[in-house]
Structure 1
Amino acid sequence: MAIKEGDFVKLNYTGSVEGTIFDTTSEEVAKENGTFSEGKEYKPIVIRVGGNHVIPGLDEDLAGKEAGQEYEIVIPPEKAYGDHDSSLVKSVPTNEFKEKPAVGMRVTADGRQGVVANVVGKRAVIDFNHMLAGQTLNYKYTIEGVVEDSVEQAGAVFDLFVGRELEMSLEDGVLTVILPPGITYDQRYMMGKGMAVHQIFEFVEEINEVVLKESFKRPEKAEPVEEAAEKSEE
């Protein structure tokens, strides 16, 4: 059965520019091409077709495809990360940075993240464009299947916007999300939870209410030193 707009799907993909891979969901591909990162979890992502969860060119290509088949698409800049905008290249005094800027370094200036394109005297040229702006991208992808479970769909939306897999359950239209201790200090969670909830109401019809629930467990008491020593002697 062909994939249609509105379906939640599991998507495996590899993106490249002129043969150089910049992103992949496959650990094997990452290791083969020397882009493997220990801190990254390699797995298919769950997205809603037509939900703008991936770049427009890839999102538009998914509808009508069949699960289990590999496809390849070339995506021009206007359907990816846009053209390179010269107005987003700024000159900033080097003394504004804690660390001496060097070409290629990612930095934050004026509240935005950019890359040091050049250093001239006491000024650094910062490019605030997306690193793939102006690039034509190549994607190879496979749709592993359709995700129909409402909880899994909601979990995928939270993962996309807050970068975490959260424990959750659904009963009588109420989605209860268990928040781990300390998550309120996570800036990405605080900024993304509103959009996640908004999209859950928009895209997952079975859910009528979302409860974000913090849960704290009493820590186990440490065993007294003397008692522990006696047990070790036994």
Structure 2
Amino acid sequence: MALQEGDFIRLRYTGSFGENIFDTTDEERAKEEGIYNPRADYGPVTIRLGSHHVIVGLEDELMGKEVGAEGEVDVLPEKAFGAHENEEVRSVPVTQFREKARKGMRVEIEGREGLVVDIIGRRAVVDFNHPLAGKTLHYSYTIVEKVEDPIEQIKGLIKLYAGRSDIGITIAEGTAELALPAAITYDRRWMVWRGTLVREIFEYNPEVTNVVMKETFPRPATPAAAAEAPEAEETAEETTEE
């Protein structure tokens, strides 16, 4: 059956421009191309068609395809990361940087991230366009399967937004419960995206009326307990010798 808006799928893909690969779900390919991220969770990603979980040009290509389909598509800038806007290239005093400015460094100014493309005297020229703005992109893809299970759909969204696969999920009597690992509040990516995740859980699962997040902290071993263990071993050894 042809895929349509609202369907969840697992997708493998590799994105490139010219000879440069900038993104892939294939771990070995990432290593070969020198873009491997040891903190990334490689493998097929779960997306919902129509929700712009991938760029518009790739999403348009996937609509109407069948599970198992493989293909390639060129995506023009207007359906990728937009045109390169000259007004997004600005001159900034180097005094705004925390470290010495140099060409090629990425900086954050007033909450926006940019790339230093030139340095003229005491000012740096910073490009605030997306790094892939103005580029025609090429994608190869495989539609692995359709995802019907709501729990697997939510797991896919968590991985997509927060890059995590260590959150347990149950759904019972209209409540979706997320079992959070300890100290997840220190994960900046999770904190930024959890609101979006909750909104999409409600939007895509009409039967869910509550989302509950439970963070569990296991009791740490006390120093006394740790000290007792060697003493117990010594006592056992003494008894054996006698």
Q: What's the TM-score, normalizing by structure 2?
A: 0.90
Answering whether residue 190 of structure 2 is matched by residue 189 of structure 1, we say yes
CA distance in 2, matches of 1:143, 1:162: 22
Identity %: 47
**2:13, 2:24 within 8 Å by CA — same for their partners in 1?**
yes
**Is the alpha carbon distance of 1:191 and 1:231 closer, same or farther for their aligned partners in structure 2, counting shifts above 3 Å?**
same
Q: What is the CA RMSD across the aligned residues, in angstroms? A: 1.8
**Is the alpha carbon distance of 1:193 and 1:34 closer, same or farther for their aligned partners in structure 2, counting shifts above 3 Å?**
closer
Regions of 4+ moved over 6 Å: none
Answering whether residue 114 of structure 2 is matched by residue 106 of structure 1, we say no
Q: What letter is aligned with 2:182?
A: P
Partner of 2:240: none
> Which ranges of structure 2 fall in alignment gaps of 5 or more residues?
238-242
Report the Cα offset of residue 99 of structure 1. 1.2
CA distance in 2, matches of 1:196, 1:40: 19
Partner of 1:214: 215
> Rg: which structure is higher?
2
CA distance in 2, matches of 1:174, 1:96: 47
Report the Cα offset of residue 229 of structure 1. 5.3
CA distance in 2, matches of 1:163, 1:38: 12
CA distance in 1, matches of 2:35, 2:161: 24
Report the Cα offset of residue 179 of structure 1. 1.9
**Is the alpha carbon distance of 1:11 and 1:194 closer, same or farther for their aligned partners in structure 2, counting shifts above 3 Å?**
same
> Which ranges of structure 1 fall in alignment gaps of 5 or more residues?
none
Q: What letter is aligned with 2:208?
A: I
CA distance in 1, matches of 2:226, 2:118: 60
SS of structure 2 residue aligned to 1:130: coil
**1:91, 1:126 within 8 Å by CA — same for their partners in 2?**
yes
Report the Cα offset of residue 224 of structure 1. 4.2
**1:153, 1:204 within 8 Å by CA — same for their partners in 2?**
no
**2:40, 2:163 within 8 Å by CA — same for their partners in 1?**
no
Partner of 2:35: 35
**1:150, 1:206 within 8 Å by CA — same for their partners in 2?**
no
**2:8, 2:49 within 8 Å by CA — same for their partners in 1?**
yes
Report the Cα offset of residue 205 of structure 1. 3.1
SS of structure 2 residue aligned to 1:87: helix
CA distance in 1, matches of 2:61, 2:116: 34
**Is the alpha carbon distance of 1:159 and 1:27 closer, same or farther for their aligned partners in structure 2, counting shifts above 3 Å?**
closer
SS of structure 2 residue aligned to 1:219: coil
What CA deviation, in whole Å up to 9, does each residue of 1:128-183 have, x standing for no partner? 11000000000000010001110111122233233323211111121001122222
CA distance in 1, matches of 2:122, 2:176: 54
Report the Cα offset of residue 50 of structure 1. 0.7
SS of structure 1 residue aligned to 2:152: helix
SS of structure 1 residue aligned to 2:200: helix
Q: What letter is aligned with 1:182?
A: A
**Is the alpha carbon distance of 1:65 and 1:15 closer, same or farther for their aligned partners in structure 2, counting shifts above 3 Å?**
same
CA distance in 1, matches of 2:147, 2:42: 18
Answering whether residue 11 of structure 2 is matched by residue 22 of structure 1, we say no
Identify the range of structure 1 (71-80 vs 160-169) with the bigger mean alpha-carbon deviation. 160-169
2:227 to 225, 228, 234: 225
Report the Cα offset of residue 195 of structure 1. 1.3
**Is the alpha carbon distance of 1:124 and 1:16 closer, same or farther for their aligned partners in structure 2, counting shifts above 3 Å?**
same
**Is the alpha carbon distance of 1:231 and 1:157 closer, same or farther for their aligned partners in structure 2, counting shifts above 3 Å?**
same
Partner of 1:177: 178
SS of structure 1 residue aligned to 2:81: coil
